Amino acid sequence: MSQANDKSVDSTNIGASFTAAALPAAIAFLALYFFYKAPVFLTLNNWISISVQIASLMTISIPFSILLMAGKVDLSVGSMVGLSGVVAGLSFPNLGIIATVVLVLAVGLAIGLLNGFLVGVLSMSPIIVTLGALTLLRGLAQWLSPSPLFDFPEAFTFIGYGRLLGLPILTLIMLSVLAVGLFVMARTPLGRHTVAIGVNERAAYLVGIRVKLTVMLLYGAVGMSAALAGLMTIARINSAPSGTLGVGLELSVLTAVLLGGVPFTGGRGSLLRVALGVWLLGMLSNGLILMNVPTVASLMITGLVLVLAAGLDVLRTRRG
C-alpha cells in the first residue's frame, strides 16, 4: 500500500512539474521558432513593440485573474473597452482630457460595481450577468456613436506612442498595473480574502470575511481596468470604432489567464504566470504577423491555444 501511495505521490509531482514547466517551455520554443523564421523577432525593438501590443490585454488580465481566483468571471470586458472608447471620444470636445479620463474610469468602476452587486449581493450567475452586460454595453456604444470617432487631442494620443525613461508610456502603465496587482495579492487582506473565497465561499463567510463587499470591489477593479484599457487602446490607434473596438477581447483575456494557471474554479493562481501567459499570446500574434500568416489562420491558431489552455486547466484541476 505504501509503495502504491509513493507512486501516486511521484506521479502527482511529475504532473505538477510538467504543467508548471509547460508555459516557460512554450515561450522558449516559440521564441526560437520565430527567431529561426524571422531573425528580427528577437531584437529589442521588436520586444518593446510586443510590450506595447499587449499593454491593454495585460491591464485587464491582472485584475481579471484576481477576480477569477475568487471563483468569479467577467465576460463583459471587451464591450467595456468599446464603450469606454466611445465615451472618451464623445467627451473630449466638451470636457477636455483630464475630466474625460476621470469620467471614463468612473463609468468603468460603476459598471463593474453593478456587475459585482448582481453577482455578489443578489447571487446571480456571473456568466449570465456579464454575458448580458457584454451585449448591453456593445449596443449602448453603437447607439451613442454608430460611426467611428477619430482625431483625439494630441496630448492624449501621446500616451499611445510617447515614451518616458526610454520605455513606451503604455508599457509603463501595464507594468504599474502588474505591480499593484502583485502588491495587493502579497501584502493586503484583500489578496488573502480573494483566495479564501475562491477555495470555499461559505467557509470564508463563516470566518468573518465580507464576501459580498469583496466580490463587488473585485468587479469594480475589473470594470475600471477595462475602461483604462479602452483609453490606452484609443490613444494608440487614435480611433474609437464602436462596432469593433474590444470585440473578442474577453476570450484573449480568458486564454491568457488560463494559460497562466488560474483555474476556472478559482482558489489559487500566480499573477507572474498570468503575465507570462499574456506575453505568450503577444509573442504568438507578433510572430505570425512577421511570418505574414493570414488573419484567418491567426484566429484559428489563437483558438487552438484557448483549447490548450482549457486542457491544462482540466489537468491542473485533476491533479488538485
Return d(Cα 141, Cα 86) in angstroms, integer.
6
Q: Residue range 215-227: average pLDDT?
A: 98
Phi, psi of 241 (to 5 degrees): -80, 110
Burial class (CB in 10 A: 0-12, 13-18, 19+), 274: buried
Render pLDDT for 146-165 as a digit per residue (tens, 0 to 9).
999 988 999 999 999 999 98
Looking up cell 480611433 gives 239
Beta strands in 213-290 (DSSP E): 239-240
Nine-digit cell at 116? 459585482
Whether residue 311 contacts residue 259, with contact meaning beta carbons closer than 8 Å, is answered with no
Long-range contacts of 93-98 (CB under 8 A, 24+ apart): 97/153, 97/155, 97/156
Name which residue leads in pLDDT, 132 or 312. Answer: 132
Q: Which residues, 6 or more positions from 112, have their beta carbon under 8 angstroms from its beta carbon?
A: 74, 80, 219, 220, 221, 222, 223, 224, 226
Q: Residue range 295-306: average pLDDT?
A: 78
The reported pLDDT for the residue numbered 265 is 85
The reported pLDDT for the residue numbered 294 is 83
- Residue 124's SS3 state is coil
Render pLDDT for 232-280 as a digit per residue (tens, 0 to 9).
999 999 999 988 999 989 989 998 998 888 988 888 899 999 999 999 9
Render pLDDT for 9-66 as a digit per residue (tens, 0 to 9).
455 555 556 556 778 888 898 899 999 989 999 999 999 999 999 999 999 999 999 9
Q: Of 1-15, 41-55, 73-87, give the lowest mean pLDDT range.
A: 1-15
Whether residue 31 contacts residue 248, with contact meaning beta carbons closer than 8 Å, is answered with no
Name which residue leads in pLDDT, 13 or 219. Answer: 219
Long-range contacts of 310-313 (CB under 8 A, 24+ apart): 310/258, 312/19, 312/22, 312/258, 312/259, 312/261, 313/258, 313/263, 313/264
Going by C-alpha positions, the residue among 209, 206, 92 that lies closest to residue 145 is 92
Strand partners, 150: 239
DSSP string for 133-184: HHHHHHHHHHHH-SS-EE---HHHHHHHH-EETTEEHHHHHHHHHHHHHHHH
Going by C-alpha positions, the residue among 105, 113, 106, 101 that lies closest to residue 74 is 113
Nine-digit cell at 26? 512554450
Q: What's the first-to-final CA gap in the chain, in angstroms?
A: 21
Strand partners, 164: 167
Running DSSP on this structure, what letter comes out for residue 121? I
Render pLDDT for 45-57 as a digit per residue (tens, 0 to 9).
999 999 999 999 9
